[in-house]
Structure 1
């Protein structure tokens, strides 16, 4: 189905960046590898670098336009390779043009087209990211995405990232991979948590399309569990937002 792209309100990225980085830090710091020593010889350093790149850490962000957050993440965690996704070719061209004019490291890749409602986009992403070499993503991030798509589409994220997929086609690490989502939510009974949330939902989000709107974490966890994930935790954030993590269910 078609639905409009909803761009975050102006200035929201700069306001929520620090809290999001704080929430991501425990997820990304536990498996950080040591840098190559300055004291090894060039041939040894080259071999160590090759081995490290073969086992590189990779994070995927969905709904990355206009690339504000992922640029900051790549600068903060320069030992991780970051790949962002945009919904259409217009967003992709805008991001590509922007990246020409800012200083980014080699660990930040250009955007890939991924409309989460399009099966062909998921198939293209699987082919594009080198799954044949076994380099699945360590984690996947969704910022202010869940309420900006129709209610059934978040299930597509968990379905395509599921550990139930055959190993050679998994986009996400099938043993300890995680999916994190940030944004405003309904409570688990399906009610707005505040008057501000209700106004944002009804006057801004649903004004774009009636099928969009805030969801409860509980409703998304239902999809997650169906596809092999468990809800690991929730962190309350400024302005009534919540950061949620789902992880591959232990076997």
Structure 2
């Protein structure tokens, strides 16, 4: 590098570029010049704008939905099977308890939970994902969004759900389950109910968690209280409702304590 190149520098937004890193054209030139390759639409800075657009679209569309519960489970579950009908029942009961139902928007368990809520007259939401193989949103959705990026979609599930219900599923279901448990365990989100449905299906995994993870001190005993396991759809809803009633009561007590402290401070 010559001494002249060493001396040459340019401010570019928040960045400082020097020497060979200084571009030969300005940002405006590159924006307005219609010639040249179109590779830029696949570059990381452009992806940032797409990511931002997905967040804006999701936040805007979901901001006013009522309290909701996300239901996860296998896309491969067949209509008419016991697991499918169980998810339909849970979707219906969640609506009757005052919740909207959010799923991944696909077939199987997702379709079933949306169907149960939709048939009962509730608000049914589907958050789909762009995949190499076609998987359209199911027909029981009132509000549907398709995302390019898994992490944006996951944010929407967590931000707009007051509980997670997890039925039998595959790797995607496990991914959503353990992310939720991790977020609650680490205090990244306010604790909310996580209910696993299917004692037989989840039993082997939970035995391993206790016998291997817990026994080797990789998790704590209280971490096992971060989720609830049941086969009973009534219990699914009861666990969620009871947790929210308790949470509302604690919030009211905290608010009353803050107001009392404020009043005492004003009186001194």
State the TM-score, normalized to the length of structure 2. Answer: 0.35
The higher relative CO (CA closer than 8 Å, separation ≥ 6) is in: 1
- Structure with larger Rg: 2
